Copies of this chain bind each other. A is one copy, B any other.
Amino acid sequence: MKNLILASSGSVHGSEYLEYLLPSIDKLYKGVEKVLFIPFAQPGGISYDAYTDQVQAAFNGLGIQVKGIHEYKNYQEAIQQSQGIFVGGGNTFLLVSKLYEFKLWSFLKTAINEGIPYLGTSAGTNIVGLNMKTTNDMPIVLPPSFETLGIVPFNFNAHYIEPETNSKHKGETRATRIKEFQALNNVSVMGLREGSWLRIYGEDIFLRGGLPAVWFVDGTSRVVDANTDCKDL
């Protein structure tokens, strides 16, 4: 039975890394002693070791040991033998490129479908959708494809935000960008605000965190209230 937390952001304003999510992470990883961390998204170019240390520090209070996938000889086996998985945020192009380079997609998909608890934040959430075409990240590397896990039948826009009222900026808003995407792609998009996450348990997909999300379909959008079961959207 699928068991995932897909968060918009690793951090929210005014608290430490992952702090706001820890009670939910504790439940997700119930009974798990060691989590496999995938640091490939490397936010700000941080090293895999430093990123893994940062996650370990956040998980110390949960009594969970964190090991980076880069510390294993065989990455595919590391996923096959994992008790729990965490894919952290950063650059989605980088993350997706590495998952293609090491041929890890089918291993991740199998693990998730077998019920291995999966935590994604930001880029780690994006890759659970159909493709990465609605990321906000810069295309710093060219992956061979934009297709991702497709565990949910839609896409994400993490860190979703509306423009500031009275903004004088003319660069495209998120909504405009997603409209451009939907002019070419028949895929719905969940705009997930910082502080929100999807809790997938079996076939249910609840919106958690107390904030509304925005659901983009066919070039239009509507608000999704907190606690909605998004499998019905």
Q: Does A67 contact B (CB under 8 A)?
A: no
| Count of interface residues, chain A, beta-carbon cutoff 8 Å | 48
Chain A contact residues: over half helix, strand or loop, or mixed? loop
Q: Known: A44-B180, A45-B183, A180-B44. Contact between A170 and B139, CB under 8 A?
A: no
Is the CB–CB distance between A194 and B179 below 8 Å? Answer: no
Q: Does A159 contact B (CB under 8 A)?
A: yes
A11 to B176, CA, bound (A): 15
Q: Does A12 contact B (CB under 8 A)?
A: yes
A180 to B44, CA, bound (A): 5
A44 surroundings in chain B (CB, below 8 A):
172, 176, 179-180, 183
A161 to B178, CA, bound (A): 21
Copies in the complex: 2
A13 surroundings in chain B (CB, below 8 A):
168-170
Is the CB–CB distance between A170 and B137 below 8 Å? Answer: no
Residue on B with the closest CB to A164?
A: B164
Is the CB–CB distance between B141 and A171 below 8 Å? Answer: no
Chain B nearest Cβ from A214, distance in angstroms: 15
- 6 new A-B contacts, CB < 8 A, other than A13-B168, A138-B180, A170-B194, are A44-B179, A45-B179, A133-B138, A136-B138, A137-B177, A158-B171
